Structures are given as C-alpha cells and as structure tokens.
Structure 1
Amino acid sequence: MSAVAILHPLVRRLTAPNASAYTFTGTQTYLVGRGEVAVIDPGPADGPHVAAILAAAAGERIVAIVCTHTHRDHSPAAALLKAATGAAIVGCAALVPAAGADGGVDAAYDLEYAPDRVLADGDEVAGEGWTLRALATPGHTSNHLCYALPEADALFSGDHVMGWSTSIVSPPDGDMGAYMASLERLVGRDELVYWPGHGEPVDRPQRLVRGMLGHRKQREGQILRRLGDTPATIAELVATMYAGLDEKLRGAAARSVLAHLVDLERRGMVIGGETWARTV
C-alpha cells in the first residue's frame, strides 16, 4: 500500500502502483484539506490504491473527486471512489477521442469517465479551509485542467507540467499549438510550487515552464532545419532528433514530432503526409 507523504498542512500525496516508461514512478494522487477532503486524480482502477486513498482519509469525509484529464492512469478510480464514498466527480469534461488519438501510447483514454459537474476555466470547488480553482490548460489533452490552491500558493499541474519529463502531445486530441499557449499562460502566474501528476514537486515552476517552452521551440527549429535540407518522414525526423533514445519511447517521440508538424502545417510552414517538406 502506498505511503502517504505530507507536502503541506493541506496536502497529502499517494503514488499509484502503475510505474512505467510513461508514468515514471506512478500517478500521483493528492488529498486536499482536513476533515472535508478533495481527492485529485485518483488514478487507475486499482483496488489496493483506492483502499490506500480511503485509509489515508479515514475519519474524514471525501467531498469531491477531482480529475485533471481522462487518461487511463488518472481518472478510472474516480468511479470506484465515488461508489465507496458517494462523493461527486468534478473537474474536466468527458472526452471521446478521435480514432487513433492515443497514438499507441499506453496511457489511453478513460471512456467510462462520467463527471457529475464539469468545471470551466475559473470555476471552483471548495471545502473547509481550501479552494481549488480550475485553470484550462489544453494541449496534452483537449480537456486538461490544472487546479490552483490559493491557500498554499500552489498549482496541481496534472500532466501539463510534470516533475520528471516533458509531456506527450499526441494528435489528433493532443494539440501542440494549444499546449504552447497553455504553457505561456502559466509563465504569467505566481504560484510558488507545482504538484504534478508524475514526479516530485516543482519548485521555481516559472523557470521550468520557460525551459519547457524553449525546449519545444528548439524541437520546432530542428524540424524546420531538417526539412530545409530535404523532405523527410516522421521516422527519419525522430532518428535525427532523438539519437540514443530508449526504443520504448520512440513511439511517444514520433507522436510529439507529428504534433509539431501538424502545428507547423496549420501555420503554413510545412506540408506533409507520409513525407513532410518545408513550404517557406
């Protein structure tokens, strides 16, 4: 059973037992509040993990089950937790992805997710001593939300900003242009710490976000330079851009390259199909 880490007087964390090349040590589940508790990202439909959440909140009342997005490693346990507690599922909207939207990545969509209340940008869910304010951050998925906790000057950043790796952006639901705009939105905010869906807490988060923006722009520049020489397939671009990458992660890299290409095509800078070429 996952150990409970106390991150702040209002925040406890458990890690789901779903470590993988795409989830790092596992999905981070957060309990917010004391007495009246919100659970953020209850994780996969894993009975022992749900039991660990209930044990961590023993003697308290879970009043809200909050999801950042509906990948299979974040939201399926919401239904199990609701059945055990009667708490409402609130947060991101349900999502029906287009065919192939998961791109072969193992964190596919939770198509059974059924929220009782969908939060729009700026909407809040609150309990005794705490407030969670939704921040729309599409890109990783079209329905992704982060949640500000003003009482702690903190942001639950889901998979938009993680503590161990950059996020996968996989078309057609994942959108690189939207992802970049969502990162830009975070740069102007003043939270002191991010608590992500995977990895450790992020201190000095604005610095990390600026670095993530720079990294994505660097990848975009690599693509344009490579296509400036000769047209290329996505596989050829991945081989050039990700030399030495673990074979397990090549599929994810290909999805991110595709996301960049789709964004560049939308902006009139490349044209493609099986082979991609620069237009300017």
Structure 2
Amino acid sequence: MPPMSLPPQPWPTGLADQVEPLIARVLAPNGSPFTFTGTQTYLVGSEDGLAVIDPGPDDPVHLAALDSAIAGRSVLAILCTHTHRDHSPAAAPLAAITGAPIIGCAALHIESDAPRVDAPFDKSYAPDRVLADGEQISGPGWTLTAVATPGHTSNHLCYALEETDALFTGDHVMAWSTSVVVPPDGDMADYMASLDKLYNRADRIYYPAHGPAVTKPRQLVRGMIGHRLMRERQIVKLLGEQPRSIAALVPVMYKGVAEYLWPAAAQSVHAHLLDLERRGIARLDGDIWRPAPKR
C-alpha cells in the first residue's frame, strides 16, 4: 500500500488540537517521507490530570509546545508506544519538567549494521514501569489499557482509552501508509497476529502517531491484512517462476511505486521471506531465495 502524498505545508506543528473532550494532539516538527507530517503527541485527560502518549523527539521546540499545552496541569504518566527515535526521546526531558513517571513499553535497542529505513532505536529510554498486555493506568475520568502489538517492533504497545473506545495505535496501524517491518526485530508473523488482534476488537476510532485519525478501524485493518497476504502470494508466485534475490523481487513487486520507497519495501519483503522460511515455504541460498522443497 503506497503512502498518500504529503499535504501542503505549513503543517500545524506546536499547536494543541483538541480532537475529543479527553484528547488533545500536538504535532512535532519532524515531518519526513517516513513520518508523514511528523510525530503526533497525545495528551489524554482533563484539567485534573493527564497522560502523555508518544512524547516524540527530543526537540526543544516540541518540548516547549508540550509544556505550553500541558499548561501547568498534573501529568500522571508519560507513555511510549515503542522506542524508535521519533517517539520516545522526549520522555526523559518531559519527565524532568513534569515529574511524571515514564510508563509503558519495554526498553529495546537493536544493534545492526544494516541500513535502516525507519528511525533507529532510542538508547536513552528508561521506563519506570513496563506495562504488560491488558495492564491499565488511570487518572481522573480516564483509563488507558495496554494492548501488546508486536511486529513493527517487538516492544510495540497500543493504548485503549476505555471511556471513549479510542485506540492510540503508534506505528502499528496508520491511515497514510502501511507500517514498515524491519528484521531482525520487526517480525511479519507477529505483525499479522497483531493486526488480527485489533480486527477482533471493537474500537471506535484509531489515533496513530503519524497521519490522520482512522474512523473505520476494522475496515482499514481488514484491508491491511489483505494487502500483506497479497504480497505474500506475490512473492511465492515470483519465486515459483524463478529464484530471485530481494533486490530482484522489489522492482517487480513495487512497479509504479516511487524508487525512494524501495529500500523500505525491501525490508518488508525480507520480513515476508523470513516468515515463509520459518513455515517451510521458501529457502535462502546465498542471497537468492527459492521455493523450499516439498516435504
């Protein structure tokens, strides 16, 4: 699923947009082809106490905007969906400003020499408390439940706002693009299982970390599952025609997609191939993938 084109600038960075009575959104100034218009930080709660979800990059302009949006209110928790550097580095400085604990996903840092097409991991992230699937935190008039959604990263969490049936989906589900799944930490089988998990929920609306809100969540998730299954079938068909490297698969599979997106596509193709290998459908010889022998 190719990403939609970027909306015209200027983007409304630094402004507190009240999207629902319990939810405000502040856009960080880190727009790029892989973050859309930038990371969206969400303030959840009321005058009596807030949670901050995905504080974003450690950028003084964004931190000042968050401080202004918080406006002296008590911050009870700072939560991160995962620890890519466009999501979590502002957690520590925001905790220093507000005195709030950092709660949510586990720390994770993967060392790799491979070129990255997503943000690298945040080495500085140090949570005060890690939430397991189904654990909750609450404040005046709000309750957030952790929903474990590994795949994009192994430590990815979504957060469900129980009072309004809203789900903060981080990078797991976004309307503007499919999530990049980058091995070795990103895992296609986990990603697909996490999509199934969300499809079986009854959330009213999704608020992703990048791009617009998703007002028809199950419809979008169903389409994303279908898209990934289509890519899997495409790989199996192409390997059946002739063994190929990832570099040879991508131009055929992503014909018509801008070439600057091919490195990201190659990572997801790699994730699909690793999943097919585990399932005994494909095998690797050197840098060439071919169908696995039938048992």
* TM bucket normalised to smaller: over 0.9
Q: Percent identity?
A: 60
Distance 1:184 1:98 in 2: 29
- Decide which of 197, 201, 210 is 2:222's aligned counterpart: 210
Partner of 1:60: 73
Aligned residues: 279
Partner of 1:81: 94
Deviations 1:160-201 (A, max 9, x none): 001210000000000000000000011110011000011111
Distance 1:9 1:100 in 2: 45
Distance 1:197 1:266 in 2: 31
Unaligned runs of 5+ in 1: none
TM-score by structure 1 length? 0.97
User: Tell me, what secondary structure is at the counterpart of 2:250?
Assistant: helix
In the TM superposition, what is the alpha-carbon distance from 1:92 to its structure 2 partner? 0.1
Distance 2:181 2:113 in 1: 13
1:167 aligns with 2:209: no
Distance 1:46 1:250 in 2: 29
Q: Contact 1:88–1:116 (CA<8 Å) still a contact in 2?
A: yes
Distance 1:58 1:258 in 2: 45
In the TM superposition, what is the alpha-carbon distance from 1:114 to its structure 2 partner? 0.3
Distance 1:91 1:246 in 2: 36
Unaligned runs of 5+ in 2: 1-12
In the TM superposition, what is the alpha-carbon distance from 1:59 to its structure 2 partner? 3.0
Q: Contact 1:21–1:248 (CA<8 Å) still a contact in 2?
A: no
- Decide which of 159, 167, 173 is 1:155's aligned counterpart: 167
- Decide which of 132, 138, 145 is 1:120's aligned counterpart: 132
Partner of 1:230: 242
Deviations 1:40-70 (A, max 9, x none): 0000110110110110010311111000000
Partner of 2:151: 139
Q: Contact 2:175–2:212 (CA<8 Å) still a contact in 1?
A: yes
User: Tell me, what secondary structure is at the counterpart of 1:146?
Assistant: strand
In the TM superposition, what is the alpha-carbon distance from 1:108 to its structure 2 partner? 0.8
Deviations 1:245-267 (A, max 9, x none): 22321111100000000000000
Q: Contact 1:64–1:90 (CA<8 Å) still a contact in 2?
A: yes
Partner of 1:242: 254
Distance 1:100 1:146 in 2: 29
Deviations 1:217-256 (A, max 9, x none): 0000000000001000001110100013223211111000
Distance 2:111 2:189 in 1: 18
User: Tell me, what secondary structure is at the counterpart of 1:33?
Assistant: strand
Distance 2:162 2:136 in 1: 11
Partner of 1:189: 201
User: Which amino acid in 2 is paired with 1:107?
Assistant: A
User: Tell me, what secondary structure is at the counterpart of 1:171?
Assistant: coil
Distance 1:33 1:53 in 2: 14
Distance 2:237 2:135 in 1: 42
- Decide which of 190, 209, 219 is 1:178's aligned counterpart: 190
Partner of 1:18: 30
Check 1:100–1:180 CA distance in 2 against 1; reply closer, same or farther (3 A cut): farther
Partner of 2:279: 267
TM-score by structure 2 length? 0.92
In the TM superposition, what is the alpha-carbon distance from 1:34 to its structure 2 partner? 0.9
Distance 1:17 1:128 in 2: 30
Distance 2:211 2:59 in 1: 19
